[in-house]
Structure 1
Amino acid sequence: MFARWLSSKKHPSLPKQNIIVEPMASMPLFATIQENTDYVRQALGNSTDIVIREFTYNSITEGVAILYTDGLVDGNVINDFIMRAMMTDSLDIDPKQNPFDVLEMHTLTIGEIQKVLDMKNLFHHILSGDSVILMNGYTTGLAASTKGWKDRGVTETNVETVVRGPRESFSESIRTNTALIRRKIKDPNLWVETFQVGKVTQTDVVLMYVHGIAQDSLIIEARNRLSQIQIDGIFESSNIEELIQDEVITPFPTVYNSERPDVVALELIQGKVAILVDGTPFVLIAPALFETFLKASEDYYHRVDISTLVRILRYAGFLIALLAPSFYVAITTFHQEMLPTQLLISLAAQREGIPFPAFIEALLMEITFEVLREAALRMPRSIGSALSFVGTLVIGQAAVEAGIVSAAMVIVVSITAISSFVFPSYDLSNAIRILRFPLMALAASFGFFGILAGLLGLILHLNSLQSFGVPYLSPFAPLELNKQKDALFRMPFQSLFSRVRTVHTNNVVKKAKRKPFRP
């Protein structure tokens, strides 16, 4: 009764709301300044950061307006190169002449100027940091590039650190990032295509490739995948990565990302494509092969012997990080006869009094370490490193003294953790962190047979993966002997004169083979 009575009462009158205007509607501009500015104000909800300045220009006394977004523009450029230039211009304009043509050819001293033909184009320019000039009596406008927001600038990389090599990294500005790549590749065949992705955010996404090296089918495929994205917002390149990758249900990354311009430039001249997203310093590279995640840019800045040794150590670290806890669980649970007698006696003495089986022991230590690692990443930098170091040391020592875990298990987990940090790619490390737990469960259930079954399933899964149509395990599977010069080993530059054919590329020859120097 009360609910029925309450619903029958009239609600207090609310203030009249403006009609919702779709700001991206593809409609022509109005012929008057007042109609255009009213539409812009209404579409943007009378936002206070939208600046509309009306003034007169030359003999046009009925009205000129400039529209821009405060905070996205360089105020000095607007004041000095647009408004001052227009207000002090004494050039006589022929009534038969279009004043926008005079502005573009004689008055404005700004390099990038574009015509604005409809409302969708107008809103895109205003919300991207450009300034739009409108005049009474004209259904077109003029957009001048006045972008001037603050960015982080080019700084030293924090993730992909190197001992020798360039130290610069990408920033959150997409134009800064494209310029950094062009500094590395000055070839006019380096082509750039721009997309707007995200219905609400309208994020700028750039597709870069070297025309004549990257195969047309790869470029078309990348272009189609970007144009087919239907989502409200893009805030980081990982959003694009998840939407364009070939396989979603897999722990392994099938799109590579890097914050180093030299890495992206190297991959571009290998026939790959790069995808840059405005607002993030991480650039996507496709196609991405498994061996790509075990390479580092530093491999090409050191001598061949050192680079090859380090690369082999990375592959060894991959196996250790993936299998070390599983092997320990399998040996201590099922296959004690594989250990030397003295080592077996030592392990048995350490495990005396441990209340948990080896699998639970390993599971506790692995979960504890993962929690400590995540806590160190989220803590302030000033105390994050101290927390990870002291926490691991204190907890491990206390767990051994309390008889919860054995000292051998602490050693195995520590070696596993150290090995997981040798990869240049953090994404591959995440995949190993996920796969380590089911392999330990198989080892605790079936011993080495369980580990073998898990590895076979893992290899079959890797063989089924593709990245933009390229087999994920190339050039190992399918095996190409002539492409092993830069896979497991790094041969001298004199031998690296061809690109991997499994990566879509037209131009197979990478560089001429250098003749030996003879004094």
Structure 2
Amino acid sequence: MKRSYSRLHKKSPKKEAKPQPSSTHLRPVLERNITYIKDELGNSADLKIRRIQFNFIEPTDACLVFIESLIDTALLQELIDSLINHKQISPNKTDDTKRNIITDLIQKTITVGDVEEVIDFDTLISNLLSGQAVVLIENEQHAISVNVPGNEKRSVEEPQSTTVIKGPHDGFTETISTNISLVRQRIRSPKFRLESKNIGKVTKTKVMVAYIEGIVNDGVVKEVHRRLDAIDIDGIIESGYIEELIQDETFTPFPTIFSTERPDAVAGKLLEGRVAIFVDGTPFVMVVPSLIVEFFQASEDYYQRADVATLLRCLRFLCFFIALLAPSVYIAVLTFHQEMLPTPLLISIAAQRDGIPFPAFLEALIMEVAFEILREAGVRMPRAVGQAMSIVGALVLGQAAVQAGIVSNAMVIVVSITAIANFCLPAINLAASVRMIRFGIMSLAAVFGLPGIMFAIILLCIHLSSLRSFGVPYTTPAAPFILKDQKDVFFRVPIWAMITRPKLISQKNIKRTRHHKKGGS
């Protein structure tokens, strides 16, 4: 069902205002401004106030306010030196210059970082908590905010969730400015647009909406802003918070928002007319609208020949159905449809199951749960031993279970192939969805056999057809069927044949290349 944003994101009742000046604007008395800032921040231990004096017609008292844990000390010292060494204006200047001390400092003195003029406490506090230093001056109701961020940043590394053999090996980090630069390096267009907003009443998390003007559907951009503006929450720690709050459907196992660590993948989606959502503090960038077929596509598909990419993509679709249906088909055939198996194979499986105390469904359930435990343990354990523990644990557990007569050899093979096929899916969130759905289909197969599996597939098709991602049908271009968009679904045509962008994603500037004959002529 569709999420009702008007009900989910109600404004919280206003708290009683604490004693403060009659206006949130800065006061002309330096000490009053300092006292107000200390009270607002609870006189925090890392709140530092550096008093200085510089010459402007006459000696002028000022102070530098900053959060020690958020700033770069080298840039801060450079800022202090520039203020202290400020040259006195010649006495023949008019008295009007006295009133332009802020402008003079911004234009002639401060050479560090981005500078802006601040007139109210709300903006001042927000800037302090964003890694900026604020210059307060006696007898001035304006302040100067200087950007000198110095928080620790992780270097650009290869993405952990989506690795490739051929293609770029750089991935997003937890710093939003770094992530945007990685995309800008790939899209050097003046039409590339970025729009910023802060979400979270407490965390004030920076969120950037990116798109390419002239290609994107303007209605999608407006809808993204509407859903982001409707969020009323204390804090945003990771992009998953926003993903749950803006997705079209709440109760579905399938991901309706595409998330990736790869800058090249985001750049490719933007060129198709999609909208990217960057969230500060996470290496994952969301892209909307998203389609089910995108979760079978890998960046590497576009860096090698079309025939190789088509083969690998077909292999992924096959692995999807193996991971989804293999245990269920095994349970259904052994429980209800033994006549479908060749006689020698049936006799071999029957001999293996001789002495097994559990029915096929319970046997498969035990093995699936055991593999899920091993997978989760491998993820949570230290990386140096996690992978080895998963492999050794699976071998030892499987062999011991067979020797103890709890499960059969055939069941171990089926569950192992299922687990391996699940890892072939390039999108980890789709792989997690398959793991959840698989247990439901196994239950239907144990009760109804193959008709139960067919019923589950029909339900899945109906559910997928009902999903939307920011107004776009989730199963596009299969349903609704769009012939021109089949060039990049189950197979990939050569790059020179991808003349148009997806029809329902971008309704303007459809053509992205002219038709090139083979050989480039």
TM-score range, shorter chain: over 0.9
Partner of 1:263: 265
Q: Offset at 1:383? A: 1.1
Partner of 1:114: 116
Q: Offset at 1:110? A: 2.6
Partner of 1:481: 483
Q: Offset at 1:512? A: 2.2
CA contact (8 A) 1:20 1:43 kept: no
One-letter code aligned to 1:404: I
Distance 2:321 2:473 in 1: 21
Distance 2:500 2:60 in 1: 66
Distance 2:330 2:216 in 1: 46
Q: Offset at 1:31? A: 1.5
One-letter code aligned to 2:495: F
Greater mean alpha carbon deviation, residues 109-118 or residues 180-189: 109-118
Distance 1:20 1:75 in 2: 35
CA contact (8 A) 2:193 2:211 kept: yes
Q: Secondary structure at the match of 1:191?
A: strand
One-letter code aligned to 1:411: I
Distance 2:23 2:329 in 1: 63
> TM-score, normalising length from structure 1?
0.94
**Structure 1 residues 203 and 26, CA gap change in structure 2 (3 angstroms):** farther
Partner of 1:41: 38
Greater mean alpha carbon deviation, residues 119-128 or residues 50-59: 50-59
One-letter code aligned to 2:453: I
Residue from 386, 389, 392 that aligns with 1:387: 389
Partner of 1:79: 77
Partner of 1:70: 68
Partner of 2:328: 326
5+ residue gaps, structure 2, are: 1-15
CA contact (8 A) 1:218 1:504 kept: no
Q: Offset at 1:340? A: 0.5
One-letter code aligned to 1:40: I
Q: Secondary structure at the match of 1:147?
A: coil
Partner of 2:419: 417
Q: Secondary structure at the match of 1:420?
A: helix
Partner of 1:197: 199
CA contact (8 A) 1:311 1:489 kept: yes
Deviations 1:297-327 (A, max 9, x none): 0000011111000000000000000000000
5+ residue gaps, structure 1, are: 1-18
**Structure 1 residues 320 and 26, CA gap change in structure 2 (3 angstroms):** farther
Q: Percent identity?
A: 45
Q: Offset at 1:62? A: 4.4
Partner of 2:8: none
Distance 1:511 1:252 in 2: 33
One-letter code aligned to 1:78: L
Q: Secondary structure at the match of 1:367?
A: helix
Q: How does 1:41-440 map to 2 (within 5 A)?
A: 41-59=38-56, 61-80=59-78, 82-92=79-89, 94=93, 95-97=95-97, 98-440=100-442
CA contact (8 A) 1:130 1:146 kept: yes
Partner of 1:13: none
Q: Secondary structure at the match of 1:66?
A: strand
Number of aligned positions between the proteins:
499
Q: Offset at 1:136? A: 1.4
Q: Offset at 1:515? A: 4.0
Q: Offset at 1:111? A: 4.5
Q: Secondary structure at the match of 2:332?
A: helix
CA contact (8 A) 1:22 1:43 kept: no
CA contact (8 A) 2:26 2:142 kept: yes
Q: Offset at 1:135? A: 1.0
CA contact (8 A) 2:113 2:148 kept: no
One-letter code aligned to 1:501: K
Distance 2:269 2:116 in 1: 33
Distance 1:202 1:26 in 2: 23
- Computed over aligned residues only, the root mean square deviation of the Cα atoms, in angstroms, reads 1.6
Q: Offset at 1:115? A: 1.4
Q: Secondary structure at the match of 2:277?
A: strand
One-letter code aligned to 1:392: A
Deviations 1:355-394 (A, max 9, x none): 0000000000000000000001001111101110010000
